[in-house]
Amino acid sequence: MIISEVYNYKNGYVFLMINIYGIPESINIDGLKLILKSEFHITLINVEATSKFINIENAKSIETEILEEFKKFIIEKPLDQYSLFKKFRFVSRDNRKTIIAMANVSNLIDFFDLIGNKYNKTIPYQPTHATLYGLLGKRSIGLLSNQELKRDSKKIVISELEDLKFNRHHK
């Protein structure tokens, strides 16, 4: 579902759509060939998992409520100001492998605080990142907390991306 020109909701996640240009079509890491993603986004929130965390019995209705809160929130505090960093991580979970670039999205913590206050829960901040590469035919890996980021990833240096300058244009 398209929320607006720059925000999408798909498979339980809200994304900020972005463009990244001029990076190699593939990268080899640990003997694996990872392929450049066909579209880029910064994952803002896993609404599905967050709603289950809040109340598993009412997860579907809470998911709808969070999406409505998101739509209201971005009118007052847009979440389209971001920075991508050359802080790359190799993420591995089950048979999926990805390379991500860490990101910062202005005002996003305020949205997590709003949802937490509404439901009287401490909602874990979900590490913002853009998935750049993945194994062919495999889906990306969602990161629900800094604990998952530490558990499932490691910092990497990618010489092919040393001179990369991220473009900050929306689709």
Residue range 120-133, pLDDT digits in tens: 999 988 899 999 99
pTM of the model: 0.86
Q: State the alpha helices, DSSP H only, in the chain.
A: 47-54, 59-76, 108-119, 146-152
- Per-residue pLDDT tens for 138-160? 778 888 889 999 999 999 988 87
β-pair partners for 133: 36, 99
Q: pLDDT (tens digit, 9 = 90+) per residue, 88-103?
A: 999 999 889 999 999 9
Structure tokens at 46: 């896993």
Higher pLDDT, 78 or 137: 78
CA angle 1, 134, 82 (to 5 degrees): 55
Q: Tens of pLDDT along 25-74?
A: 999 988 899 999 988 999 999 999 999 999 999 999 999 999 999 999 99
Residue 131: Cβ within 10 Å count: 21
- Exposure string (b/e) for 35-65, b if CB count within 10 Å is 16 or more? eebeebbbbbbbbbbbbbbbeeeebeebbeb
pLDDT number for residue 66:
96
